[in-house]
Amino acid sequence: MIKSKFKVLIIIIILLITLSTVTAAEFSPELFSELADSVNEIPHIDNPDFSKLKLDNGMIIYLVEDEELPLVELRAYIEGGISQEKKEQSGISSLMTELMSLGTRNYNEKEMLRYKELNALSFSINSNYDNYRISGNALSTEKEELIKLTAEILKNPEFNRDYFARTVNENIQYYKQQFYRDDGLLDMHFFKNIYGEHPYGYQYNYNLVLDFLDNVSPVDLDRFYEQNINPDQLVMSLSGDFDIEEMKDMLVDYFSDWENDNSEASFDYVNVNQQNHGKVLLVNKEDATQAKIRIGYNFYSDKFPKKVAFLMGNRIFGSGSFNSRLMENLRSEKGYVYSINSQVEYHKYGGVYYVNLSVDPANSYKSIEAVRKEMNSIKSGREPFTEKELFENVNLYNAIFPKAYKENIDIIDKIAYEMEIRDNSDQYINRFIEQYNGLEAEEVQKIFADELYPEIIMSVIVGPGDKIAEVLKENNVDYEKIN
Amino acid sequence: MRIRFKYFLKNNKYILNLFLVILILFVFSVPQIFAADITLPEYEYQEFKLDNGLKIMVFPDHEVPLLRLSIYYNVGSIDEPEGKTGISHFLEHTMFLGTEAVPNGKIDELISSVGGQLNAATTFDYTYYYHEVPSSMLELVMALEADRMTNLKFDAQEIAREKEVIKQERRLRTENNIFNRGFEEIKAEAFENSPLEHNVIGWMEDIESITSKDLDSYYNKYYAPNNALLVLSGDVRAENVKVLAEKYFSDIEKNDFQKNTFKFPDQKEEIVHKVYLDTQIPYSLIFYKIPKGSDKDIVGLEIFLDILANQQSARIKEKLQKEEELIIASGAFLYQLRVPSFALVYFIPSEEKLVDDAQKVYEEVMADLFENGISREEFEIVKKQYQKSIIFSQKNIDQIANAAALNELRFGDPELQKKKISILNNLSEEDIIEIAEKYFREEKRTRGYILPKNEEGGNK
């Protein structure tokens, strides 16, 4: 009896405490400062148990069993990609991958499509600067169909089919349309100048691509395929609801007869053209109501050793969220832009650093100058990065990493890429986490400032030529106009 | 009968063998895809309501220590008064300009300081804000949303600057995008004199005319707890949400108002509208009027559009793209709003001179579908894809929460997806055609074209 009275008393006390916290809230800056107190734990990403299989032909596969859902997911890289194109073959990588997905020696277009759809298979292969990227998935009941489809597409392409002429024509229309899109024009004039006579730039030189498409034959594609798609260049990851040993047998069955063709990859680094430094290109698009702008310069290849510090510096400067310095200045203070971002791209043979923005044509000069001023204030050390700015970005990464690597397919794909293609360890993700957590603002400031070159930025502006020219002339800017 | 059959077998061995060969070929060459009924996994969620009408849904998933708070207001561009188009979206921007307790820019700073992210979006029929933060920050995001539900500031100078940002957003997303610009103009013709006439961003002259006073009164009318839905997903517990909802939201007063409803004006004949822009390739857009998103016919329309335009082997792709080589791409969208809605079918003819031919073949495809129907195989393919996408969606609790929340917000029915699946499982191929014929009629549609205004074509 006494015990139960005691219980009731405890319950009443708990209720009273609860009710006292449920009083109406008074909102104040102090309340929010008090509530916003979270230092997120440094995450550790646990690698799933994985198994590695290397076939005699050199093909490598990483496998993880994951029975959470009745699915199988596949990702793969094939080294090569756009970097292997010659000037007279501009655009061949993407045409080849598009055609590979349409049909093979054993399946015409209709049969291939029917096979994919009846089995609910997803499969895609795309060309990137330094590799081909493959991804696919299926319900686990169709795992073998997914492997069979992947093997068929990779081993037995057939370019000389009725879809060849149609796809080439569709690509011609696509590239012609780029001359009418401000995004298309911006990409073309920025990247073809930045990358110059390097395959990275050919794909943006739409006239080169159109010349190639006018003359391409299935034989050209056969040859390019033989040289570039080989099993010893392929690293695959598989995760899902399957038995590892059974899957290994399946992979051996479908891929072990795939032979390598003896071919040598070509390696050329991007040559920096100093004539681009300080250049302003005004691309006339008479019907545009905005100025679309990209400013930037050549940057390091993916071997740049200070990538992590530069990444954090760039987040503070312009690739972070609404409170990056560029957003604060050009949107929140001046109202010039809806969005602005700074990006770094690292590729195997050279990279690029640039800022994207679009503004009212009347603000085109002022906005470029505002970006340059922000760069200079960091470069000169007038407004160095603060510990608070760095902490916000580190804290965000610590919060989102566990979600970014929640799925086994994402972890194993990263492990396979880092170990096989970039020669890193299977702990790459955790090393990366350690690195950004070990940074200090001063170090980030120094590395970022050292690599900022506001004096050499090349500017490409796409928009109504006369209006923008007037603004540039008023401010004594030398520019080259392209109609 | 049995004797006759035996007799037939005995005397028609050749026919029998042929039949067996065909049967074997059929069995071994066609994957067995006759999909079972689609099933939807059960999700555990809690739903409750405060006295002021604020509805709250909680979808727990403790896999990673993050939570997502989303708040939906049941107001969008269809609710806007004449001359003030774009005001819902303008108000969305204003929501980041601060309160007394959280001045302009501070909300980004607070969320960034805890390692979180935030953003917002406005649509035809709702406006949505979200925060993704570490799970220990539940109280912070609850307090932030309660504060700006009731204490938003309307500073004329800040609003004037934000107006410039919005005008630039319109230039970026609508005016300088060929498809979006044509879509805006053709849709305005299709839905003239209805709340769907204008796009979410609004007309430039209306954006220009919106004042801080307009925003203030729009806010006071629509940003009330009884017009909102608060959704939490991820590493969160319903008990904690309940306590904090009482603490921060229960004192906010509700505001009763009459919701806008409308019917499309009666259309007797097809509308045709052409837009001339600086483009090499033309676009064909066809708008159809359909019922609101909770209507029982919506599922049938979804299946029909997949078979017509969306799946890889869709009829338009097969006939117009692969067989006749008239177009280079195609697709369809179904807008499922809380009011009468619309479907859009589009295709991109490869050249201007092929626009009429493409349209003619499109009519033939539609006529063939209405006359001969869809095949069992087409239907089963769509169903199988649907089942697969349901399984994939289980990976993401935020996606599950968002789907249920929209059904609750728009139609007061978080279980609507389950009902739709039950409808789908009971549909026949004939039902789908019958439904499509009801809405996809020539005299009720608008045909629009985005055509090149120049003659330079690809010579640029």
Residues 319-358 of A with CB under 8 A from B: 320-323, 328, 331-332, 334-339, 358
Q: How far apart are the C-alpha atoms of B118 and B105, rounded to whole Å?
A: 12
What's the token pair of residue A231? 């099993």
| Contact yes or no for B391 and A181 at CB 8 A | no
List the strands of the sheet with B341-349, edge to edge.
Answer: B271-277, B446-452, B283-290, B341-349, B327-335
- Residues of chain A contacting B63 with CB distance shorter than 8 Å: 406
pLDDT 10s digits, A334-383: 999 999 999 999 999 999 999 999 999 999 999 999 999 999 999 999 99
Mutate to test the interface with B, among A42, A164, A287 (most CBs of B within 10 A): A287
> What are the b/e assignments for B201-210, b being 16+ CB within 10 Å?
bbbbebbebb
Comparing CB atoms, the residue among A163, A173, A285 nearest residue B328 is A173
Q: Report the residue of chain B nearest A210, measured CA to CA.
A: B458
Residues 144-173 of A with CB under 8 A from B: 145, 163, 166, 169-170, 172-173
Q: How far apart are the C-alpha atoms of A297 and A458, rounded to whole Å?
A: 6
Instruction: Give every CB contact of residue B195 below 8 A, 6+ residues apart in sequence.
Output: B77, B78, B79, B80, B260, B262, B339
Mutate to test the interface with B, among A109, A117, A209, A410 (most CBs of B within 10 A): A117
Number of A–B residue contacts, CB under 8 Å: 218
Mutate to test the interface with B, among A102, A403, A436, A462 (most CBs of B within 10 A): A403
Helix axis angle, A307-314 relative to A428-437, nearest 10°? 60
| Cβ of residue A36 closer than 8 Å to a chain B Cβ | yes
User: What is the pLDDT at residue B457?
Assistant: 46
Residue A261 confidence class, pLDDT cut points 50, 70, 90 = confident
| CA nearest to B382, candidates B297, B296, B303, B309 | B303
| Contact yes or no for A180 and B104 at CB 8 A | no
pLDDT 10s digits, A391-446: 999 999 999 999 999 999 999 999 999 999 999 999 999 999 999 999 999 999 99
User: What is the pLDDT at residue B22?
Assistant: 40
Q: How far apart are the C-alpha atoms of A183 and A441, rounded to whole Å?
A: 35
- Residues of chain B contacting A38 with CB distance shorter than 8 Å: 113-115, 133-134, 136-137
SS3 A135: strand
| Contact yes or no for A287 and B322 at CB 8 A | no
Q: How far apart are the C-alpha atoms of A208 and A217, rounded to whole Å?
A: 16
Q: How far apart are the C-alpha atoms of A400 and A394, rounded to whole Å?
A: 10
Q: Report the residue of chain A nearest B34, measured CA to CA.
A: A118
- Please calculate the CA angle A20-A24-A27 and round it to the nearest 5 degrees: 120
pLDDT over 70 at A18, yes or no: no
pLDDT over 80 at A23, yes or no: no
Q: Report the residue of chain B nearest A39, measured CA to CA.
A: B114
| Contact yes or no for A27 and B178 at CB 8 A | no
pLDDT per residue, tens digit, chain B (460 aa), is 333 433 433 344 444 444 444 433 333 343 444 456 888 788 889 999 999 999 999 999 999 999 999 999 999 999 999 999 999 999 999 999 999 999 998 999 999 999 999 999 999 999 999 999 999 999 999 999 999 999 999 999 999 999 999 999 999 999 999 999 999 999 999 999 999 999 999 999 999 999 999 999 999 999 999 999 999 999 999 999 999 999 999 999 999 998 888 899 999 999 999 999 999 999 999 999 999 999 999 999 999 999 999 999 999 999 999 999 999 999 999 999 999 999 999 999 999 999 999 999 999 999 999 999 999 999 999 999 999 999 999 999 999 999 999 999 999 999 999 999 999 999 999 999 999 999 999 999 999 999 999 765 444 4
Q: How far apart are the C-alpha atoms of B229 and B139, rounded to whole Å?
A: 17
pLDDT over 50 at A315, yes or no: yes
User: What is the pLDDT at residue A193?
Assistant: 97
- Residues of chain A contacting B133 with CB distance shorter than 8 Å: 38, 399
- The strand pairing partners of A61, in sequence order, are A53, A236
For A222-236, A279-293, B382-396, which range has the lowest pLDDT when averaged over its residues? B382-396
Handedness of CA A373, A375, A377, A383 (dihedral sign): positive
What's the token pair of residue A164? 């060849």
User: What is the pLDDT at residue B261?
Assistant: 85
| CA nearest to A363, candidates A391, A336, A340, A331 | A336
Handedness of CA A333, A334, A339, A341 (dihedral sign): negative
pLDDT over 80 at A81, yes or no: yes
Parallel/antiparallel/unpaired status of strands B66-73 and A480-482: unpaired
| Contact yes or no for A338 and B165 at CB 8 A | yes
- Residues of chain B contacting A172 with CB distance shorter than 8 Å: 458
Q: In Å, how far is B40's CA from the nearest CA of chain A? A: 13
* A67 touches A241 (CB < 8 A): yes
List the strands of the sheet with B55-60, edge to edge.
Answer: B46-49, B55-60, B228-234, B66-73, B127-134, B117-122
- The string of DSSP codes covering B120-135 is EEE-SS-EEEEEEEEG
Which residue, chain included where needed, has tokens 């007394």? B100
Mutate to test the interface with A, among B280, B320, B330, B389 (most CBs of A within 10 A): B280
User: What is the pLDDT at residue A360?
Assistant: 98
